[in-house]
Structure 1
Amino acid sequence: MRFGLFGRGKREAGEADAAASVKRQVRALLELPENAVIAVNEILCADPACPGTETVILVMNPGEKTRAYKVQSALAELTPEALALALSVAD
């Protein structure tokens, strides 16, 4: 799902597959339990001061404060290495 774009409601199949893949990788990299909720969204900022498209990952693990991670990359272009780096830098 992209925020900042009008006329889009549902995720396209490729985006859903990419988001599901990122969720699996996040769960494995952070060693999260099955009851942890992971949200993955691609955000497109129209403001010239913004970096453009970024992927935002929220990790909601019961009993812990929600953690947010940002990767300055479109969801479809997010590499496992960039994801691992973003998760390690934020912790």
Structure 2
Amino acid sequence: MTNAITIAKVIGNLSAAWLLVKMGPKKAFSLALLLIVAGVAGAYESSYPWYVFTRLVMGFGGALIPSTKTRHCTKQCSLVQMLQG
């Protein structure tokens, strides 16, 4: 089961930069949160293939979070430093 999450995180990390450029940090972060919330549906799945699929979705969303937050926080931190300086 953890292999599904690992595979999704690898794919998510490789595609995170592309998504950030295409969508922007706020929309990419929103997509990541949506995918994680959608992955919660796996707790209620009765079939194993759907359970694995929802774990893949959740892993992909979890892989997007660090890259979107890093870029967003860097932008916010530089703005705060500019206003303080």
**TM-score normalised by the chain length of structure 2:** 0.31
**Higher RCO structure (Cα 8 Å, ≥6 apart):** 2
* Structure with more of its chain in strand, by fraction: 1
* Structure with more of its chain in helix, by fraction: 2
Which of 1 and 2 has greater Rg?
Answer: 2
